[in-house]
Amino acid sequence: MTVVAQKLSAGKRLGREDGLALFATNDLLGLGRLADYANRLKNDDRVYYINNLHINYTNVCVNDCAFCAYRRKQEQADAFNMPVEQVLAKAAQLWHSKAVEFHIVGGCHPRAKLSYYCKMLSALKKAYPGAHLQAFTAVEIDNIARVSRVGVRETLTALRENGLGSLPGGGGEIFAPAVRGKICPEKISGKRYLAVMRQAHQLDIPTNVTMLFGHIESAADRVDHMLAIRELQDETGGFNSFIPLLFHPWNTRLEQLSKTGGIDVMKTMAAARLILDNINHIKAFWIMLGVALTQMALFFGADDVNGTVLEEKITHEAGADTPQHMPGEELERIIIDAGRTPVERDTLYNPLQR
């Protein structure tokens, strides 16, 4: 840790060995101080949140990830596929005057074509012209392209023409092939995920980027995952935020694993803040962390608690005991109680004045 602290104070970039040292240290408070300092240089005491709405349009998926409690086969009784009219009806049910973003993700449907996704976005954009549409993970984009027999670039271009504003970061999981082969063998590789992200960035479509942690991966896998993200960010600058997603084991085929603890979560947050020196924002997603760990994460380099959400299904099916929605006032209270200044933002981190 001393070497890492010296490197940071000399303005040097951290390497793989430094990243491993961050996970190996028992000096948790020292680690927090380093990450907090790095965060304050970028974000001062601001902590961001957004008024957003989640729409999960299908739970049918050709993949069968071991950590997923959400996916269904088409023939299962509780499988659902929302026609565009139903997506609009769900949007109308959720929409409120403070909402600024629809966050739209689902399974990798075996048959839905690009035209369905374009219709969905254009219908939402027509009904809610001021809303930002953050839709479809890199994994979904690759699937849409494959099912529709068009290229990823054409897929992204068509979606953007119909209202796509940005991509969420889901599907990153862990890039290490050996781990990925065990937890999500059918899913596109980490390399492919990053290649889709690269194409989005080249088309000026910003994205987030994620890492699923706390299952069977090692600290080295986490560090390598972050270094691969940093490398692409050096090239494109298209990542708005990094989101370390805490694995929830219940109702999944990895149920035998226990949920990782608070110290591991804080180390991961801090390592992310210190390694990803070219990404401005690190998210502590309250849906996965709960309120207590979210507040703690603000002392370990995180500067964003994500959004008000409204109706999250994917993490809750894996046993998250957080609510499905948190009003903006409540998120502000959580941030203020941690001694920080809440800033309501839009998807692209522009502050909003109400």
Q: Smaller CB distance to ligand SF4: residue 59 or 166?
A: 59
Three-class secondary structure of residue 106 per DSSP? coil
Q: Which of residues 166-205 bind ligand SF4 (CB under 6 A)?
A: 184, 187
Q: Is 71 in the site for ligand SF4 (CB under 6 A)?
A: yes
Distance separating alpha carbons of residues 335 and 137, to the nearest angstrom: 28
| Secondary-structure breakdown of the chain: helix, strand, coil percentages, each rounded to the nearest 5 | 45, 15, 40
Q: Smaller CB distance to ligand SF4: residue 114 or 139?
A: 139
Q: Which of residues 295-354 bind ligand SF4 (CB under 6 A)?
A: none
In the complex, what is the shortest distance from the CB of residue 282 to ligand SF4, in angstroms, rounded to a whole number?
A: 22
Among 4, 55, 68, 135, indicate the residue that binds ligand SF4 (CB under 6 A): 68
Among 22, 108, 120, 269, indicate the residue that binds ligand SF4 (CB under 6 A): 108
Whether the Cβ atoms of residue 282 and residue 272 lie closer than 8 Å to each other: yes
Q: Smaller CB distance to ligand SF4: residue 211 or 326?
A: 211
In the complex, what is the shortest distance from the CB of residue 66 to ligand SF4, in angstroms, rounded to a whole number?
A: 9
Distance separating alpha carbons of residues 274 and 174, to the nearest angstrom: 19
In the complex, what is the shortest distance from the CB of residue 138 to ligand SF4, in angstroms, rounded to a whole number?
A: 11
47 strand-pairing partners: 342
Three-class secondary structure of residue 217 per DSSP? coil
Q: Map tokens 């999981």 to a residue.
A: 173
The DSSP result for 158-213, as a single string, is HHHHTTEEEB--TT-S---HHHHHHH-TTSPPHHHHHHHHHHHHHTT--EEEEEEE
In the complex, what is the shortest distance from the CB of residue 72 to ligand SF4, in angstroms, rounded to a whole number?
A: 9
User: What φ, ψ does residue 59 adopt, rounded to 5°?
Assistant: -110, 5
Of the candidate spans 63-71, 234-242, 262-270, 340-348, the one that interacts with ligand SF4 by CB under 6 A turns out to be: 63-71
Residue 237 region, left (φ>0) first, then alpha (ψ -120 to 50), else beta?
A: left
In the complex, what is the shortest distance from the CB of residue 127 to ligand SF4, in angstroms, rounded to a whole number?
A: 26
Among 21, 22, 53, 61, indicate the residue that binds ligand SF4 (CB under 6 A): 61
Q: Smaller CB distance to ligand SF4: residue 108 or 271?
A: 108
Among 43, 49, 101, 107, indicate the residue that binds ligand SF4 (CB under 6 A): 107
Distance separating alpha carbons of residues 105 and 134, to the nearest angstrom: 9
Nearest Cα to 47, choosing from 315, 286, 313?
A: 286
Whether the Cβ atoms of residue 38 and residue 270 lie closer than 8 Å to each other: no
Q: Smaller CB distance to ligand SF4: residue 18 or 173?
A: 173
Q: Is 63 in the site for ligand SF4 (CB under 6 A)?
A: yes
Three-class secondary structure of residue 288 per DSSP? helix
Q: Smaller CB distance to ligand SF4: residue 49 or 70?
A: 70
How big is the site for ligand SF4, counted in residues (CB under 6 A)?
12
Q: Smaller CB distance to ligand SF4: residue 160 or 187?
A: 187
Of the candidate spans 18-26, 67-75, 125-133, 320-328, the one that interacts with ligand SF4 by CB under 6 A turns out to be: 67-75
Binding site for ligand SF4 (CB under 6 A): 61, 63-65, 68, 70-71, 107-108, 139, 184, 187
